[in-house]
């Protein structure tokens, strides 16, 4: 539910747990499949902003954020937002992922359901 303001609408933080068992570490990324798209009229879109933070970690490897915040800009050809982190050894981490619906000006887009998908990917370093 939108609060009918010009403020970005943040969804509840999602906690993701990543277990990296590679001695060289792993890279974890979280990416959208595009901006928010109106579920009836796909011509209406809104940008999505992702934010990532490390909630906790354990193990011999250390985690760093490689991209903490990213926002789509569909009007200028940037349809994807990606945030990520990497470790330098075997370790486990819990990440807090914040997903926000970028409003800009409330009332400049039709009401309805808007959808996007965020996918988490883990790769060995």
**Which residue range is the domain that position 25 belongs to?**
9-124
Query: What would the two tokens of residue 93 be?
Result: 């981490």
DSSP-based three-state secondary structure for 60: coil
- Asked whether residue 107 carries a pLDDT value surpassing 90, the answer given is no
Confirm whether 114 is domain-assigned. yes
pLDDT tens figures, 40-66: 999 999 999 999 999 999 999 999 999
- Banded pLDDT at 108 (limits 50, 70, 90): confident
pLDDT tens figures, 77-104: 999 999 999 999 999 999 999 999 998 7
State the Cα–Cα distance between residues 66 and 117, nearest whole angstrom: 21
Average pLDDT over residues 27-49: 96
Confirm whether 23 is domain-assigned. yes
Average pLDDT over residues 26-48: 96
Instruction: For the sheet with 82-87, list strands across it.
Output: 63-67, 82-87, 26-32, 118-124
pTM: 0.92
Mean predicted lDDT score pLDDT of the chain: 94
Instruction: For the sheet with 45-46, list strands across it.
Output: 45-46, 36-38, 114-115
Confirm whether 71 is domain-assigned. yes
Work out how many domains the chain is built from and give that number: 1
Average pLDDT over residues 22-35: 97
Confirm whether 29 is domain-assigned. yes
Confirm whether 34 is domain-assigned. yes
Question: DSSP secondary-structure letter at 1?
Answer: -
Confirm whether 4 is domain-assigned. no
């Amino acid at each position: 539910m939108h609060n009918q303001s010009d403020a970005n609408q943040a969804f509840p933080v999602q906690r993701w747990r990543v277990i990296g068992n590679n001695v060289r570490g792993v890279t974890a990324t979280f990416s959208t499949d595009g901006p928010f798209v109106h579920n009836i009229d796909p011509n209406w879109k809104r940008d999505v902003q992702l934010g990532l933070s490390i909630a906790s970690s354990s193990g011999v490897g250390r985690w760093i954020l490689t991209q903490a915040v990213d926002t789509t800009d569909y009007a200028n050809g940037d349809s994807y937002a990606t945030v990520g982190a990497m470790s330098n050894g075997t370790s486990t981490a819990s990440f807090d992922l914040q997903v926000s619906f970028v409003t800009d000006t409330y009332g400049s887009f039709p009401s309805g359901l808007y959808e996007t998908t965020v996918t988490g990917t883990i790769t060995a370093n």
